Amino acid sequence: MPQETARRSEDTGRGDTDGGDDSGAMTAGMQAEQGPVAGVFDLLHPPSGELIDDCVHCGFCLPTCPTYLLEGIETNSPRGRIYLMKAGKAGEVEMDEEFVGNFDACLGCMACVTACPSGVKYDQLIEAVRPQIERNWERTRADKLFRTMIFSLFPYPSRLRAAAFFGTLYQRLGLHRLLDATGLLERLPARLRAMEALLPDLSMRSVVARQPAFTPAVGPSRRRVGILSGCVQRVFFGDVNAAATRVLAAEGCDVVAPRSQQCCGALSSHAGREPEAIARARNLIDAFESVEVDTVVVTVAGCGSSMKEYGVLLRDDPDYADRAADFSAKVRDISELLDELGSVAPRHPVPGRVAYHDACHLGHAQGITAQPRAVLATIPELRVLDIPEAEICCGSAGIYNLVQPEPAERLGRRKVEHIEETRPDAVVTSNAGCLLQIRRYLDAGVPLFHPVQLLDASIRGTDLSLISADQNPSSTT
């Protein structure tokens, strides 16, 4: 069978570094025990049978699963995927194209985790399956190439800035020629077009200088916090980082942005590129340990959810397991921290109606839905609107909108339709990926913000002009 030949053997596949140039090899503690495989999975943390057994097959996850919503095909639902994990583990199905395609199609939005009455930890299950697929399944050349390109670009602010700054990637990176030469151009343009369309016009944004390494609290210091600068965040949303730093300082935090910090590895982790994710996690832990902070603040939901799982990611690493768990315990989304601290800085009104979009990696993955709303509620004259079908992903989902552009586009348009039903003056969400994804489909007249930008404007009294003079003057009521 062709699938057989396409698969790598267990021993060569395990521990492969997947070509990431700074990914570390696994330590001795990470080596899987030798022996028979767990069905289609190798023995390095296959999906847990106990977690699989928590699923009673009731189907309550179906209506919140974006892929089931789009396709209506049971296989492409959490229940179907868990069923296949079980069959895979028992060796009753092959790790074939259908098997892999079914897991690749999962956005990892974790809406099913919120919906599940039996408390099935699908997040842990899918995150166990993805590295298994990366280790044990040979992707097509085109797929591998594209994924390698993504992971050689996005986690590197300097490369990303250069790529975005000098025009469209498609032309300027010479990918066209490269792909043409490999004869795969026909399959790839949808993905590349997706990438091109996703990147905002950098020239329109100020290319923000580095975050200051230290920003003292305004008034007495209430907490010493480290802030994650991020990779994509730093390049495209430097103004969010700047606003976050000002707000934290205004609320009494000493803010440290360690110079040595790099990408947190969330994109790699959510894509199953475990060795890469592990290496990045270790680096980030080192970076923040060097500056000794009480809390590590994150402004990107996807990064935050990943950093809160470092303890699990590094559980087999004797040097890092405990440190990773300690680090994860310190991680807070910025709205979580601000809500916990309570506000001290006076607010100015920011009149307008804003639709709040729950980023999946904030709401579903971290259970943070009340805090951003509570924080926004401290702003006078700001009305926060809930979006219908809020539990459904916008289609961003890490690199999903790059590797699965068609369903991502359908989800993006669906989300924006629901957003527009609320007739907002602006849209607010706490994740870089969602901001880019929604931006693509939203009416250009409606601005997008991170909640902390509205707080910053409120604290500083700057005019955000959510409501332009010619636009719906009655909407402030």
Name the one residue in this structure whose structure tokens are 């004797």. Answer: 318
Q: How many CB atoms lie within 10 A of CB 229?
A: 23
Please report whether residue 386 would count as binding other proteins according to CB under 8 A. Answer: no
Tell which positions 444-473 bind other proteins, by CB under 8 A.
none
Q: Give the separation between CA 396 and CA 270, rounded to whole angstroms.
A: 12
The alpha carbon dihedral of 304, 305, 309, 314 has a sign of negative
First to last CA, the chain: 66
Binding segment (CB under 8 A) for other proteins, from list 58-66, 297-305, 329-337, 415-423:
58-66
Distance between CA 437 and CA 357 in Å, rounded?
12
Bridge-based pairing of strands 448-449 and 295-298 is unpaired
Q: Give min distance, CB of 50 to other proteins, in A.
A: 8
| Residue 270 C-beta: closest distance to other proteins, Å | 23
55 binding other proteins? (CB under 8 A): yes
Stretch that binds other proteins, among 49-57, 148-156, 334-342, 450-458 (CB under 8 A): 49-57
Handedness of CA 329, 430, 110, 112 (dihedral sign): positive
Q: How many angstroms separate the Cα of 69 from the Cα of each of 157, 276, 391? A: 35, 32, 12
Strand duo 214-215 + 253-256: pairing: antiparallel
CB of residue 67 to other proteins, shortest distance in Å: 12
Asked if 171 interacts with other proteins (CB under 8 A), we say: no
Nearest distance from residue 262's CB to other proteins, in Å? Answer: 38
CA distance 265 to 283: 10
Site for other proteins, residues 427 to 446, rule: CB under 8 A:
none
56 binds other proteins (CB under 8 A): yes
Among 15, 60, 341, 347, binds other proteins (CB under 8 A): 60
Q: Is the CB of residue 457 less than 8 Å from the CB of residue 442? A: no
| 4 in contact with other proteins (CB under 8 A) | no
Q: How far is the CB of 97 from other proteins (least distance, A)?
A: 8
Tell me, what DSSP letter sits at residue 347?
-
Which residues inside 263-282 make contact with other proteins, applying CB under 8 A? none
Residues 231 and 234: their CA atoms lie apart, in Å, by 5
Cβ closest to other proteins, residue 4 vs residue 57: 57
Q: Measured from the CB atom, is 96 or 239 closer to other proteins?
A: 96
Residue number, 80 or 275, with CB nearest to other proteins: 80
22 binds other proteins (CB under 8 A): no
Closest distance of CB 451 from other proteins, Å = 25
Q: Whole-angstrom Cα distance, residue 58 to residue 435?
A: 34
* Contact call for residue 119 and other proteins (CB under 8 A): yes
Tally of CB atoms within 10 A around 359: 30
CB of 59 to other proteins, least distance (A): 4
CB of residue 428 to other proteins, shortest distance in Å: 24
For residue 72, the minimal CB distance to other proteins (Å) is 4
Which CB atom, from 56 or from 190, has the smaller least distance to other proteins?
A: 56
* Three-state SS at 89: helix
37, 43, 87, 467: which one binds other proteins (CB under 8 A):
87
Distance between CA atoms of residues 3 and 336, nearest Å: 46
202, 165 contact by CB (below 8 A)? yes
Residue 58 in contact with other proteins, rule: CB under 8 A: yes
Number of residues in contact with other proteins under rule CB under 8 A: 33
Is 387 one of the binding residues for other proteins (CB under 8 A)? no
Give least dist CB 73 to other proteins, A.
7
Q: Of the listed pieces 81-89, 141-149, 193-201, 366-374, which binds other proteins according to CB under 8 A? A: 81-89
Assess 74 for contact with other proteins (CB under 8 A).
yes
Asked if residues 320 and 30 have their Cβ atoms less than 8 Å apart, the reply is no
Q: DSSP letters along 242-273, please?
A: HHHHHHHHHTTEEEE--TT----SHHHHHTT-
Question: In which region does residue 47 sit, left (phi positive, over 0), alpha (psi from -120 to 50) or beta (all else)?
Answer: beta
Q: Which residues bind other proteins (CB under 8 A)?
A: 53-60, 62-63, 68, 71-75, 79-80, 83-84, 87, 92-94, 96, 98-99, 102, 116-120
